[in-house]
Amino acid sequence: MFDPETAAIRFGTGLSPQIAPPQSVTAMLDGLKGPDAMAARIPIAPFSERLDSFPAYNELSKARTVARKAGDSAAERAARDAQRKYRRALGVERLQDMNAALARAAETPDGLRERLVWFWADHFTAIGRNPPAETALSGYVEEAIRPHVTGNFAQLLRAVELHPIMLTYLDQHVSVGPNSRAAQKAKRGLNENLARELLELHTVGVDGSYTQSDVRELARLLTGAGFSPRQGGFRYRENIAEPGEKRVLGASYGSEAPNETEMLRFLDDVAVHPDTARHIARKLVVHFVSDRPDPDHVAHVAAAFAESGGELMPTYAALLEHPAAWAHPDTKVKPPADFVASSLRALGLGHDALRGLKPNRVRLLIAAPLAAMRQPWRTPAGPDGWPEEAEEWITPQGLAGRLQWAMTVPQVLMRELPEPLAFAEAALGRRLTPEIAFAAQNAETRWEAVGLVLASPAFQRR
Amino acid sequence: MSLLTRRNFLLRAGALGCSAAASPLMTPVTFASAPWDNRLIVIILRGGMDGLDVVRPYGDPEFAGLRAGLSPVAETGPQDLDGFYALHPALSGLRPMWQAGQLSFAHAVSTPYRDKRSHFDGQDMLEAGGATVPGATTQRSGWLNRLLLQAPGHDVRTAFAVGREDLTILAGAAEVSNWAPDTRLVMSAQAKRLLELVTHDDPLFADNAAEALELAAAIDPEAEAPEDFGDMLQDMTEGMAESRKGKGHVKLAEFTASQLRQETRIAAFSLNNWDTHRNQARTIRRSLSQLQEVLLTLQQELGPVWEKTAVLAMTEFGRTARANGTGGTDHGTGGLMLMAGGAVRGGKVHGKWPGLAAADLYKERDLMPTEDVRTYAAMAIQGLFGTERSVLEGTVFPGLDMGARPQVIL
């Protein structure tokens, strides 16, 4: 059975003393259908506004190389300092974007939207390979993912797979068709990286019905997808594209004159593949409800995805309307970023508290603690993103990071901490246990009391 | 003495070779009678290390053609190992180890994982040690954990998973320690009691909170409970500052060594960034330098204990025999395992070389795996700890047939 607190905690970013939880599944879905208020209120620059940073950084690197080769040590030093300064500025931008994302989660009346953005950003994990790309990651999420989380999966897939950030992360932009014009001039060829992860992680899943031959053929099909920061971002390069037919997942693509349309046709097809429906459905249920998902719940969501042709709103409706969405006990553990965001929310902190912080302060209070909890902001180890299992997060070292943060950072961010028992009630609602209430009242200091409430399993699970 | 310098001093004090037990600086931890005297370290190399680039079979006539532009092969000079294989130059710092008979390799090895070439399934299988990819619903059980269950009188400190991530290879029924080098945690006595109260009914939280507090105290015994908020904040600030300094991989090695000098007998951690699809000449050099630094740090910091130690570095799969079109290699099958340590029978590249002609490759693409990489791990365990073959083949690595393999441990 639906209840507002579970809606806010399991499908949102937690309870807040100021913001009412959703009152029904319909209200949750209506929130998603409505305008994206948080994006307007707390802006994050889209990727398209960050394109200049790529050539700018390249110029600085080149200047340094030129000075070194010329043996001009003073010029080399100057170039190095300029590059460092630029890198630092990019680093600061990254911290601001992180703060903005956390603040949106902390302040939103529409928590499901933020959760979906984070879910899809993780599903389509991309990691910056150089300072401008690292910084532009937030822009990738903002323009390729966020606007599409309530649309059709095929649209989302097109936006993500052909995005410069994904193309460069998984080496697609340098992959060259062996029979392309470019390959005839210089010895270059295919790179399978994106093709494999597109099938294994993004669509049909590792248990899906694909083979090495599909990976290879898809790698051929994807040649031509490139990135040009000076020409607006994505750029189709016919000269590196592989001509001829490609057979992927039993269907035929491509023609003698290679073109972008064939790639898009494949993305539209794979978006509605039955294996994709199952893979996406399972990931949604695992992420929101249980590490050991109810097969009936997964089947229900997969059916909605398949029947609607990959429409995401009916898919979420199926996720939320199934009884298991509400009947399941709180077994998931909030990943560190969700833990931090929901803690800020429970404390009534948001954009105002974070935006005034100096960069070093943000590193100390947010970025470094997230790394200590094992979730450095948007930099998982590989394209499979963050783990889901509670056991992966709650290790001695991971829990130590959470405890330390919970006991210290709220006090630093707030001049006066809330009265502990009232705080426990606001943060936990019906999940407040007598033990937590006792701890809140019997800790020797207020910062320990607040820390214990946040450190309690009742707060960290959902 | 500040927390920072004291901690460094503690780590270093042991490194100078004085035994931890004798050092007056060490805590009076009780040294439980450890089950074994030898030490085993397993390093998981995540991303699929290109074995053909690391130990280069330049003696194979096909090699030069497959790797044109990627792995130069005219290296019968200082990189030569045995007249057939040559070592990647980024590992040249390991040459003394090789010459001292403390470094060996097994080539053309793999787990039983085939065909889908997924990092994540490949790593799951490597760490689970079985013959099938473990399903998401089954209980995680790593082969080092199952080995631990065989150890007489093992306790929570016998095995250590080092680093921030949770390692499947050590997950399972036997209790192990988990800690990251820069983690610290101090709490007042009352806060600890209340934490116990609020976590009491949730075993995952209760057990890990207890373990965190115990480890933090054991590793930094002089850290005092915070008397006020300033202390607490200072402790966090210093911990964060520490974690931003220095090289993470070296810290992993230093921390691992510091535990192995005490009662720990088995440790595992991972090194990432082996997925060299592009610009491999540059990217693998960085990863290999880290691996080399880790091995040299372990050797140095373990002191006399190095003589009783075997380090196994293993990866989920090798890479394509042929260079791809972007100066790198794609996911493959047969790969390379590294063994180092004073306990290792070194100076040899083990394995049955399959050849690199098109017909000799796996699916005309990858180095053909001719042996199960688990066999070498099993041989190392047998040599180090005297574990019965039946246990190795039935419990630690279910379904493995060790056959008649050469000894890898002295």
For A212-258, the DSSP string reads HHHHHHHHHHHTTEEEEGGGTEEEE-GGGSPPS-EEETTEEE--SS-
What is the token pair recorded at B197? 């109260």
Query: Does B32 reach chain A within 8 Å, measured CB to CB?
Result: no
pLDDT, residue B76, reads: 58
Report CB contact under 8 Å: B164, A397: yes
Write the pLDDT tens digit of every residue in A47-71.
999 999 999 999 999 999 999 999 9
Q: Mutual orientation of helices A336-346 and A396-413 as an angle, nearest 10°?
A: 30
Residues 80-109 on B with a CB inside 8 Å of A are none
Give the range among A367-371, A424-428, B151-155, B228-232 with minimum mean pLDDT: B228-232
Asked, for residue A1, whether it belongs to a domain, the answer is no
- Shared domain check, A117 and A33: yes
The band of B28, judged by pLDDT with boundaries at 50, 70 and 90, is very low
- Shared domain check, A233 and A192: yes
Asked if B315 contacts B381 with a C-beta cutoff of 8 angstroms, the reply is no
DSSP string, A377-411: TT--SSTT-S---HHHH-SHHHHHHHHHHHHHHHH
Average pLDDT of the segment spanning A328-339: 97
Query: Does B172 reach chain A within 8 Å, measured CB to CB?
Result: no
Report CB contact under 8 Å: A363, B240: yes
**pLDDT top residue among B140 and A369:** A369
Query: Does B179 reach chain A within 8 Å, measured CB to CB?
Result: yes
Asked if A192 contacts B331 with a C-beta cutoff of 8 angstroms, the reply is yes
- Shared domain check, A431 and A345: yes
pLDDT, residue A301, reads: 98
Average pLDDT of the segment spanning B198-210: 96
Whether residue B98 is predicted with pLDDT greater than 60 in this model: the reply is yes
pLDDT, residue A373, reads: 96
Largest CA distance in chain B: 71
Q: What is the rounded CA–CA span in Å between residue A13 and residue B108?
A: 49
Q: What is the rounded CA–CA span in Å between residue A319 and residue A277?
A: 13
The DSSP element (H or E) to which B350 belongs, if any, is: strand B348-350
* Complex-level ipTM: 0.96
pLDDT, residue B3, reads: 38
Whether residue B339 is predicted with pLDDT greater than 50 in this model: the reply is yes
Average pLDDT of the segment spanning B259-283: 95
Asked, for residue A421, whether it belongs to a domain, the answer is yes
Residues of A in contact with B201 (CB under 8 A): 433, 435, 457
- Shared domain check, A297 and A195: no
E strands along B13-166, which residues? 39-45, 55-56, 86-87, 103-110, 159-162
- Shared domain check, A109 and A178: no
pLDDT, residue B139, reads: 67
How many domains does chain A divide into?
Answer: 4
Chain B: closest CA distance from residue A29 (Å): 30
Residues of A in contact with B272 (CB under 8 A): 381-382
Report strand pairing: B266-271 vs B39-45.
parallel
What is the torsional sign of CA A58, A64, A70, A75?
A: positive
- Choose from B188, B215, B233 for mutation: most chain A CBs within 10 A: B233
Residues 6+ apart with CB under 8 A from A187: B69
pLDDT, residue B14, reads: 38
Phi, psi of A378, deg, nearest 5: 50, 30
Asked, for residue A373, whether it belongs to a domain, the answer is yes
Write the pLDDT tens digit of every residue in B317-330.
999 999 999 999 99
- How many of the other CB atoms lie within 10 Å of CB of B76? 11
Asked, for residue A3, whether it belongs to a domain, the answer is no
**Sequence-ordered alpha helix ranges (H) in A141-211:** 153-161, 164-169, 181-185, 193-197
Write the pLDDT tens digit of every residue in A272-297.
999 999 999 999 999 999 999 999 99
Q: Which domain holds residue A299?
A: 277-326
- Shared domain check, A267 and A291: no
Whether residue A342 is predicted with pLDDT greater than 80 in this model: the reply is yes
pLDDT, residue B253, reads: 97
Q: What is the rounded CA–CA span in Å between residue B4 and residue A341?
A: 30
The band of B73, judged by pLDDT with boundaries at 50, 70 and 90, is low
Whether residue B244 is predicted with pLDDT greater than 80 in this model: the reply is no
Residues 275-314 on B with a CB inside 8 Å of A are 275, 277-278
Whether residue B242 is predicted with pLDDT greater than 90 in this model: the reply is no
Q: What is the rounded CA–CA span in Å between residue B104 and residue B345?
A: 7
Report CB contact under 8 Å: A404, B185: yes
Phi, psi of B320, deg, nearest 5: -60, 145
Average pLDDT of the segment spanning A106-110: 97
Chain B: closest CA distance from residue A40 (Å): 34
Residues of B in contact with A193 (CB under 8 A): 275, 277-278, 330
Chain A: closest CA distance from residue B311 (Å): 23
The DSSP element (H or E) to which B95 belongs, if any, is: helix B95-99
Report CB contact under 8 Å: A175, B326: yes
Query: Does B198 reach chain A within 8 Å, measured CB to CB?
Result: yes
pLDDT, residue A270, reads: 98
Instruction: Mark which of A84, A119, A150 sits at the end of a domain.
Output: A150
- Pick B188's closest partner by Cβ from A411, A444, A460: A444
Report CB contact under 8 Å: A292, B137: yes
Whether residue B360 is predicted with pLDDT greater than 70 in this model: the reply is yes
What is the token pair recorded at A280? 């996406």
Does residue B176 come out as left (phi exceeding 0), alpha (psi in the -120 to 50 range) or beta?
beta
Report CB contact under 8 Å: A374, B277: no
pLDDT, residue B136, reads: 52
B218 closest CA partner among B270, B179, B265: B179
Q: What is the rounded CA–CA span in Å between residue A101 and residue B362?
A: 47
Highest mean pLDDT among A304-318, A354-368, B209-223: A304-318
pLDDT, residue B234, reads: 83
Average pLDDT of the segment spanning A35-44: 97
Average pLDDT of the segment spanning A143-152: 98
pLDDT, residue B138, reads: 58
Domain covering B38-184+247-396 in this structure, CATH number: 3.40.720
Residues of A in contact with B190 (CB under 8 A): 442-444, 448
pLDDT, residue A20, reads: 96
What is the torsional sign of CA A241, A242, A243, A248?
A: negative
Residues of B in contact with A227 (CB under 8 A): none
Q: What is the rounded CA–CA span in Å between residue A118 and residue A113?
A: 9
Report CB contact under 8 Å: A394, B208: yes
- Shared domain check, A113 and A34: yes
Report CB contact under 8 Å: B272, A381: yes
Residues of A in contact with B235 (CB under 8 A): 404
Asked if B231 contacts A407 with a C-beta cutoff of 8 angstroms, the reply is no
Residues of B in contact with A400 (CB under 8 A): 183-185, 212, 216
Angle at A398 between CA B128 and CA A291, to 5 degrees: 55
Q: What is the rounded CA–CA span in Å between residue A189 and residue B394?
A: 45
- How many of the other CB atoms lie within 10 Å of CB of A57? 20
Buried b (16+ CB within 10 A) or exposed e, B151-185: beebbbbbbbbbbbbbbbbbbbebebbbbbbbbbb
The band of B35, judged by pLDDT with boundaries at 50, 70 and 90, is confident
Asked, for residue A355, whether it belongs to a domain, the answer is yes
Closest residue in A to B241 (Cα) is A364
Residue B319 is given by DSSP the state: B
Residues 6+ apart with CB under 8 A from B298: B41, B253, B256, B257, B306, B309, B311, B340
Count, in order, helices (H) and strands (E) of chain A: 27, 4
Instruction: Mark which of A262, A293, A326 sits at the end of a domain.
Output: A326
- Shared domain check, A306 and A378: no
- Shared domain check, A421 and A456: yes
Asked, for residue A302, whether it belongs to a domain, the answer is yes
Average pLDDT of the segment spanning A91-117: 97
Asked, for residue A9, whether it belongs to a domain, the answer is no
Q: What is the rounded CA–CA span in Å between residue A439 and residue A421?
A: 9
Average pLDDT of the segment spanning B95-122: 95
Asked, for residue A14, whether it belongs to a domain, the answer is no
Residues of B in contact with A401 (CB under 8 A): 183
- Shared domain check, A202 and A137: no
Closest residue in B to A447 (Cα) is B229
What is the token pair recorded at B23? 């050092």
Average pLDDT of the segment spanning A257-263: 92
Whether residue B4 is predicted with pLDDT greater than 60 in this model: the reply is no
DSSP string, B122-179: HHHHHHH-SSSPPPTTSPP--HHHHHHHTSTT--TTTEEEESSSPPGGG-SSS--EEE
pLDDT, residue A396, reads: 96
Closest residue in A to B162 (Cα) is A397
Residue B409's DSSP bridge partners are: B344
Average pLDDT of the segment spanning B255-267: 96
Residue B311 is given by DSSP the state: E
